[in-house]
Chain A
């Protein structure tokens, strides 16, 4: 058990993050101070939340490109609700955000399941539609900090046992979804459907329905993150989190989630997100242009995919030309 843990992909990535932090700390010891690490984690929390949802979707051999647009639309809607009804408790706002995100995820899931449209096409379409709806409902205007109620803005920043609520939500999501993916029949179905949809069908698993549930969960997490994002940055407009869906997919891929489905863990998605988070936060500190961040995360993706492909190659050969050694 222990050996398996040490040689796993997750351990490798954890090692890579540790080495990265070590290198940075050589010149900037303050970066690895607990308080700074906590703030890096908090800053990465939205990415972690979305990466968990994306991980589940990719696991079922799909992809969700609409997560950032879902986040932005939900964020705009709850911001406008807050402006219209400043006294509405945050609990209601949270419920609305999750429900709205869930609804958008269900739309994606239904199109993939019932109409059998390729997921990349569906979510590319809904991504554009969601952004378009933001423009329609907001008239292209911003909702600014001074228009939002203090309670609305305070929630993600509120401190609980030394960490902001935003961080706690990410931690909670990691725990809950680790359980969902490892201990529930849905989690098992997701691995089976993505790993081998034929075999899963033979085993009585409804592959389409499993994909639908995956999209729904991804949507719910995107909706939740939509509120957290808008309240944390205290602004909502059409283009928030523009292009963020690519960071989310990148986090998954770096975290060892196979884009071909069936392989991946919540822990992997978490570490992939943290890896990107550390790079993003460290580059300004070590005085490298943020544009390098793109190049570095791009390189990390290619390295991760190459490593995964190599790890899987030998396995593939045994599947195809298999037979036991003669006795």
Chain B
């Protein structure tokens, strides 16, 4: 992989610097020898696709993860950040995607929780706390009463409180992880002003965002990661959007996708004008036998929400759904499964496998009606069904009795897929099917997906990984902010078009 570095500001010493940082999770290198420099009074944008390693870096910087290799320098001195407290003491603070605050406490208490000013007998000095909170809030131009309870504030003001909290520790490095995700246009403008104020106070800011307009508006520098590796860094005013997109999505040479000759049949699933009061609106498409339909979009574009609605997990949606031309009503996941639609969720930890149950019981869980009679399970049929699908997925385990929690991630994923295939569906929705698994397992999942389509199953693949979308899809629907913004045929698929539609640039 080519790494380019622009050294236009080499006289300046970074406040914080990562050298050769590596972080390994069982079987996956989340970060592989990456670097990152943050300079005082400058905003550095960390850019990368999902799985590039951005959140792992944030966790290392804030003392939550320990790197397996490499060095962290603060003011040029090698440092360890063994705990979150140690990171805070070094002046490193993070404002997270989902603000971690306490609704029932006052604004001042939220700001100073854990480091409140102390008075006699070590008790909290309330008046000093309120006074200091008011000072900090004023310094960021927030008109919030420190005595107010947090729950009474709007989302934007809560964000300001989170920022005030970050500043209350005399932070020198402020990490903003997707700070604008929940903000309206006007609030984003206010956030920009705030970032300018922080810059004027000589703070070093790490800005993590998917949105290109924000990056080019606010950042002075950029650093690009891809698949846990450092790709490039430099000054934002020396590149353009197209170049940044290229660095971000540059195709991973290690990944080879199965060659397939799509054998596309008649329409299986017709979705017409599906809308939800708050999550998505006006989604229509048809899906045919043997087709792989990709759903691409940024995180929070409403893809998973739409799929969950299609599968009957969330209700409230309007619109019509037809299977083989017959209109169907889906009120629960059992209805959807009955109709032939199954959903393999993104998060196998919370939504996929039941880790305390053995493999065979996980696989037969949605098919219990077929393997039981009068409420009694027929063990022989259950085992036969489980065995058939573990063999089809080439899942190797000591025995079908093995607890699913004792399997590796890739094998757990296979259990989840086997579970849904065992219901003999017509449409299978795979939500981020290869998230968090290693390249070898990814290839196996891709092979398998191609095989399913070849057998006539209609596949919907929700993915945020551009290589996967391009490598696997016959057609791609791009969603942005809850709406379908583009439908791209296989011949017109390029990384640039995908990113442009998804980011709205």
Residues in A lying within 8 Å of B, measured CB to CB: 4, 183-186, 188-189, 191-192, 195-196, 198-206, 258, 262-263, 315-316, 318-327
Contact = CB atoms under 8 A, between A and B. Distances in A.
Interface in B29-48: none
Contacts of A321: 25-26, 28
A324 B25 CA distance: 10
A195 B377 contact: no
B441 interface: yes
Given A323-B26, A324-B441, A325-B27, A204 B408 contact: no
A9 to B, nearest CB: 12
A308 to B, nearest CB: 12
Nearest to B405: A315
Contacts of A324: 27, 408-411, 437-438, 440-441
A316 to B, nearest CB: 8
A4 B379 CA distance: 19
Report, as a range, how many residues of chain B touch the other chain. Answer: 35 or more
A262 B412 CA distance: 18
B365 A205 contact: yes
B17 interface: no
B419 A203 contact: yes
Interface in B328-348: 332-334, 337, 343, 345
A184 B27 CA distance: 38
Contact of A184 (B337, B343, B377): B377
Given A206-B332, A327-B440, 9 more contacts: A195-B354, A202-B311, A203-B333, A263-B356, A319-B355, A319-B405, A320-B349, A324-B437, A326-B440
A163 to B, nearest CB: 29
Contacts, number: 128
A315 B375 contact: no
Contact of B377 (A183, A316, A323): A183
B127 interface: no
B440 A199 contact: no
B368 A188 contact: yes
B57 interface: no
A318 B405 contact: yes
B433 to A, nearest CB: 14
B439 interface: yes
A321 B65 CA distance: 12
B409 A315 contact: no
Contact of A196 (B355, B408, B409): B355
Contacts of A318: 26, 405-409
B372 interface: yes
Contacts of B356: 191, 195-196, 258, 262-263
B488 interface: no
A204 B336 CA distance: 9
Contacts of A201: 313, 333
Interface string B279-315: 0000000000000000000000000000000010100
Contacts of A203: 333, 365-366, 419
B354 A192 contact: yes
Contacts of A202: 311, 313, 333, 343, 345, 351-352, 366
B354 A200 contact: yes
A318 B28 CA distance: 12
A200 B334 CA distance: 11
B471 interface: no
B117 interface: no
Contacts of A199: 350-354
Contacts of A322: 26-27, 408-410, 412, 436-437
Contacts of A316: 405
Interface in B396-430: 401, 403, 405-412, 419
5 tightest A-B contacts by CB? A322-B409, A204-B334, A323-B27, A324-B410, A195-B354
B376 interface: yes
A323 B25 contact: yes
A325 B352 CA distance: 21
A176 B305 CA distance: 42
A186 B405 CA distance: 22
Nearest to A182: B377
B375 A184 contact: yes
Contacts of A195: 354-357
Contact of B361 (A191, A320, A323, A325): A191
B332 to A, nearest CB: 7
Contact of B376 (A183, A191, A200): A183
A196 B354 contact: yes
A268 to B, nearest CB: 13
13 contacts: A183-B376, A185-B377, A188-B361, A199-B350, A199-B352, A202-B345, A258-B356, A318-B406, A321-B26, A322-B410, A323-B409, A324-B27, A324-B408
A4 B399 CA distance: 12
Contacts of A192: 354, 357, 361, 365
Nearest to A184: B375
Given A202-B343, A322-B436, A191 B375 contact: no
Q: Which of B313, B354, B406 has the most CB of A within 10 A?
A: B354
Contacts of A189: 368
B299 to A, nearest CB: 19
Nearest to A258: B356
A185 B375 contact: yes
Interface in B424-463: 436-441
Nearest to A315: B405
Q: Which of A206, A262, A316, A322 has the most CB of B within 10 A?
A: A322
Contacts of B411: 324
Nearest to A196: B354
Interface in B10-26: 25-26
Contact of B379 (A183, A185, A262): A183
A55 B25 CA distance: 36
A176 to B, nearest CB: 13
A188 B365 contact: yes
Contacts of B361: 188, 191-192
